């Protein structure tokens, strides 16, 4: 459906996006994931037409849209800041784009009625954004994108302004809506939990380039680089060794046992369901070599307590560089 081929964006000598290529299939939810400054939002803006690439091409349904204006691309977009008109009521905000495109009033009413039921805003249509909570404002922004009935919906960190509980609720709602409507979505986020729980595929970016494109399970189980291994998963994967033979092992795959590698406890961080134990596996006289261990339940080991740890070799990951 969407084909992004080798797009780059530069500001002077700084390359923000470097030859980005990926595809989005009909009805697919694709997340652009990466740390702040990796180029994911700039990539989304180029797809939206808010910025023009310095090279490369963007195709939508086989049509080259690289140089088209945002309006000509006929995409829907949900912004981080909601971007609602404060002087308009909820229903006016939702259908604003339809009015601008001179959609008939009957069609506006039909689309408004259907989307209001989907996002649960029926009791708030006559309110203005200032009378709504953050979650309700985000629902209005989502409704406005849905009524557009665009081929592709772009979402730029739409949940980052919400508190943790509301983020979890909205995450579930957005994914359920996307699946029910069969929407094609590109979703920008720095939050790996959002990407892993919502996306069909993830485009993981680092320093303007693609680090790995894969389904969430494969990114977690088969990371191709150390960056992927440590960005996906919480706590991140432990990397042991240096040079050309580095070994990776996830904290949840390390066991505290009655035999194995000696380790000295540095600290314990109790999370409720489990405890994250930070331990030093360096030999006497060496610099600290720290690993994190996910220990089920509550376990407050003493600092400098000596433990023995082990793991199954089948859970090891090898990184040649």
Which pLDDT band, with edges at 50, 70 and 90, does 41 fall under?
very high
User: Do 245 and 178 fall into the same domain?
Assistant: no
User: Do 48 and 189 fall into the same domain?
Assistant: yes
pLDDT reported for residue 282: 80
Q: Count Cβ atoms below 10 Å from residue 12 Cβ, excluding itself.
A: 5
Which pLDDT band, with edges at 50, 70 and 90, does 154 fall under?
very high
Q: Is the pLDDT of residue 285 over 60?
A: no
Q: Quote the tokens at residue 1.
A: 């459906």
Do 200 and 30 contact (CB within 8 A), yes or no?
yes
Domain residue limits at 114? 2-221
User: Do 123 and 205 fall into the same domain?
Assistant: yes
**Residue 147 lies inside a defined structural domain of this protein:** yes
Secondary structure of 223-266 in the HEC alphabet? Answer: CCCHHHHHHCCCCCCEEECCCCCEEEECHHHCEEECCCEEEEEE
Number of domains composing the chain: 2
pLDDT reported for residue 162: 77
Which pLDDT band, with edges at 50, 70 and 90, does 286 fall under?
low
**Distance from chain centroid for Cα 107:** 34
pLDDT reported for residue 165: 82
Distance in angstroms (rounded) separating the CA atoms of residues 216 and 203 = 10
**Residue 183 lies inside a defined structural domain of this protein:** yes
User: Do 24 and 63 fall into the same domain?
Assistant: yes
Tens of pLDDT, residue by residue over 49-90, are: 999 999 999 999 999 999 999 988 989 888 877 788 999 999
User: Do 101 and 143 fall into the same domain?
Assistant: yes
User: Do 112 and 173 fall into the same domain?
Assistant: yes
User: Do 166 and 194 fall into the same domain?
Assistant: yes
Q: Quote the tokens at residue 143.
A: 């409704």
**Residue 234 lies inside a defined structural domain of this protein:** no
User: Do 66 and 164 fall into the same domain?
Assistant: yes
**Residue 260 lies inside a defined structural domain of this protein:** yes
Q: Euclidean distance between the first and final Cα of the chain, in Å? A: 35
**Residue 268 lies inside a defined structural domain of this protein:** yes
Tens of pLDDT, residue by residue over 163-176, are: 888 788 888 888 98
Tens of pLDDT, residue by residue over 220-263, are: 999 999 999 999 998 999 998 777 778 999 999 999 999 999 99
**CATH number of the domain where residue 73 is located:** 3.40.50.300
User: Do 153 and 287 fall into the same domain?
Assistant: no
Q: Is the pLDDT of residue 146 over 90?
A: no
User: Do 201 and 74 fall into the same domain?
Assistant: yes
Q: Is the pLDDT of residue 321 over 70?
A: no
**CATH number of the domain where residue 246 is located:** 2.40.50.140
Q: Is the pLDDT of residue 215 over 60?
A: yes
């Amino acid at each position: 459906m969407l084909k992004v081929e080798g797009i780059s964006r530069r500001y002077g000598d700084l390359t923000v996006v470097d030859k980005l290529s990926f595809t989005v299939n009909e009805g697919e939810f694709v997340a652009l994931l990466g740390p702040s400054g990796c180029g994911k939002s700039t990539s989304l803006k180029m797809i939206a037409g808010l910025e023009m690439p310095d090279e490369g091409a963007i195709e939508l349904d086989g049509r080259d849209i690289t140089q088209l204006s945002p309006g000509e691309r006929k995409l829907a977009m949900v912004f981080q800041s909601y971007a609602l008109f404060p002087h308009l009521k909820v229903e006016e905000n939702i259908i604003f784009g339809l009015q601008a495109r001179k959609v008939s009033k009957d069609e506006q009413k039909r689309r408004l009625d259907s989307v209001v039921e989907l996002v649960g805003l029926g009791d708030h249509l006559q309110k203005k954004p200032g009378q709504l909570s953050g979650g309700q404002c985000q629902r209005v922004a989502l409704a406005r994108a849905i009524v557009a009935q665009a081929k592709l919906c772009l979402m730029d960190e739409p949940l980052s302004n919400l508190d943790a509980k509301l983020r979890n609720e909205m995450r579930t709602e957005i994914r359920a809506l996307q699946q029910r409507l069969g929407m094609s979505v590109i979703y920008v986020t720095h939050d790996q939990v959002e990407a892993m729980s919502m996306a069909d595929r993830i485009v993981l970016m680092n320093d303007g380039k693609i680090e790995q494109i894969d389904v969430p399970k494969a990114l977690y189980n088969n990371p191709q680089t150390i960056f992927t291994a440590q960005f996906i998963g919480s706590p991140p994967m432990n990397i042991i060794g240096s040079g050309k033979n580095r070994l990776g092992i996830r904290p949840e795959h390390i066991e505290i046992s009655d035999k194995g590698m000696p380790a000295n406890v540095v600290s314990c961080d109790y999370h409720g369901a489990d405890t994250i134990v930070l331990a030093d596996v360096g030999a006497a006289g060496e610099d600290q070599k720290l690993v994190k261990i996910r220990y089920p339940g509550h376990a407050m080991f003493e600092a400098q307590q000596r433990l023995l740890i082990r793991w199954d070799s089948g859970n090891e990951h090898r990184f040649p560089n």
